[in-house]
Chain A
Amino acid sequence: MENKILSAYENRPRTLWSRLALGAVLVALMAWSATAAVDYTGASGGGQIAASIISGILHPDLSLLFNFTTEGVPYLMLETICIAFLGTVVGAVLAIPLSFLTASNLVPKPIAFAGRMAIMAIRTVPSLVYGLMFVRVTGMGAFPGLMTMALSSIGMVSKMYIEAIEDLDVKILESLDAAGCTTFQKIRYGILPQLIPNFASTAIYRFDINLRDATVLGLVGAGGYGAPLIFAMNAYRWNEAGAILAGLIVLVLVVEYGSTKIRVKLARG
């Protein structure tokens, strides 16, 4: 017994050199990237600025935080929730046909590859660019924001949909076939119960992310809390920024708590 263990230990894979090489590559990469990062332009008194920013954020503007008109934080958050919700719904629906066309177990390889490239192209364009395009279509406001959100959700959502479709358990379909089910019944009892929890879970997860990413929309004037937040920060009104951030943190934590609960329930059935 003892000898067996010792001999197994002696014959363990020797990976010292490959590990050293990997480490060297990593160090080289970091050194290369550090050349860009250390362009410290030396904003004078960075520490002082940081201190004033933090104290401003920690003393949020309470009158803004509890202002229940359309100017206040609660309404901004409601608008953001609506943008993120509808954006997620539109994006999740648009992603369904796209992902069925791209799932490699359903369509021939060239089509699946083309679909993959299309999804990647959609993902790569920064959401700001979409924002600009939609502002041109609809004018400023929450509407272009939600369309931007929908388009930028498609990438991740369809990627996860595709994985769900490719993981489909085909044996169930075969047994339904053997039991003499029609095509409609096969879809209703064989495919939908497998896909719906997965799809719903993905959409809820994306809703979480969209709430956080809504800041970006503010840059192009597409609604939500982003624009007031960035204006406040650019004007050094840190109390205002603190109020919006406080609202956002509460909102995101609450939504995250709820969505995790739902997703756990969906995963366990």
Chain B
Amino acid sequence: MSLYDKIFLPRTITLENGKTVQQPVSRMPLIIVLVLICCAVSVKVTGFNFATLAKRGEQFFVILGDMFPPNWKYSSQVWGPLFDTIKMSLLGSFIGTVAAIPFAVLASTNIIRSRVVVSLSRLLFSLVRTLPTLVVALIATYVFGLGTLAGTTAIAVFTFAYMGKILYEEIETVDMGAFEAAEAMGASKPRAFVCAIVPQVLPSYISNTLFCFEGNVRYASILGYVGAGGLGLVLNERLGWRDYSGAGMILIMLFVTVFIIETISRYFRRKLV
């Protein structure tokens, strides 16, 4: 019986056959009050003001309106950065997903018995995951110079942390029977892992990789803002010059690309699962 139930006593219902059941009081009111308090504090701190939004809301659509019709002639200059973005996310996703495998294995409690190794690898994933991708990209531009290499690095780092967490959770929920059987037959640990666990996690691993790649294409288009190459570079330039029809063209091309990639990847993910 938790503290909440002691303060708000559960309702006792007597059934027709004389048995009694207790219905605990709903926690919903408490949660709603808490959320409302948080909302009130947030409104105070951020200066959220609905009146401004209602009054000047049409300003939001001014830039949007300027983007249409898009400047079709500008499209010839978008292809290069667009392909750069795709290349960055392809290579970055690949490096990240492959690099995540060994660490994810080290972070799964059912494979590695040593608690120290497991918590160290998990700490690594958590720390890397908290680093904002934009910060990684900015640091990478200082180290590798401006360009797509910095963007690739940032995407690889992000993918590493994201896929690593998913992969070790996946490995931990696997059916261990086959692994134990293989070990009992005298297989070494790596051999048993390859034969018994890899086939179980591979489909969802590939499916998650594709999903991550989709997201990376979208995210890679922002990285250009800090000089890490790709679409963001030209988008930033167009927005800086207030050439919104050019920016609209970039966004439309990005939208079509993302749509194509998503369609392809959804087809493969359906086949995998």
The interface of chain A, by Cβ under 8 A from chain B, is 26, 29-30, 32-43, 46-47, 49-50, 53, 78-79, 81-83, 85-86, 89, 120-121, 123-129, 132-134, 136-138, 141-143, 145-147, 212-213, 215-216, 219, 223, 226, 229-230, 233-234, 241, 245, 248-249, 252-253, 256
Contact = CB atoms under 8 A, between A and B. Distances in A.
Interface string B191-229: 000000000000000000000000000100110011001
A195 to B, nearest CB: 14
Interface in B94-120: 94
B173 interface: no
B87 A85 contact: no
Contact of B147 (A39, A127, A143): A39
A138 B56 contact: yes
Nearest to A156: B215
A126 B147 CA distance: 19
Interface in B71-130: 83-84, 86-88, 90-91, 94, 126-127, 129-130
Nearest to B86: A33
Given A32-B87, A37-B88, A85-B42, 20 more contacts: A30-B90, A30-B91, A33-B90, A39-B149, A41-B146, A49-B143, A78-B45, A81-B42, A85-B38, A124-B254, A129-B247, A129-B251, A133-B63, A136-B59, A141-B47, A215-B133, A226-B134, A229-B135, A234-B138, A248-B132
A142 B47 contact: yes
B272 interface: no
A248 B148 CA distance: 27
21 contacts: A26-B94, A36-B84, A37-B87, A37-B152, A40-B144, A40-B149, A41-B145, A41-B149, A43-B142, A81-B42, A86-B39, A89-B35, A126-B222, A129-B239, A129-B251, A136-B63, A141-B46, A233-B139, A234-B138, A248-B130, A249-B130
B152 A212 contact: no
Contacts of B48: 86, 143, 146
B255 A215 contact: no
Dominant secondary structure of chain A at its interface with chain B: helix
B1 to A, nearest CB: 17
A11 B38 CA distance: 62
B241 to A, nearest CB: 13
A37 B247 contact: no
Nearest to A117: B259
A47 B143 CA distance: 7
B52 interface: yes
A40 B152 CA distance: 12
B145 A124 contact: no
A219 B226 CA distance: 9
B91 A37 contact: yes
Interface residues of B, number: 64
A137 B144 contact: no
Nearest to A212: B132
Contacts of B251: 124-125, 129
B53 A137 contact: yes
B253 to A, nearest CB: 10
A153 to B, nearest CB: 14
B62 interface: yes
A129 to B, nearest CB: 7
Contact of A137 (B59, B130, B134, B235): B59
Contacts of B143: 43, 46-47, 49-50, 53
B86 A82 contact: no
Interface string B23-48: 00000000000010011011101111
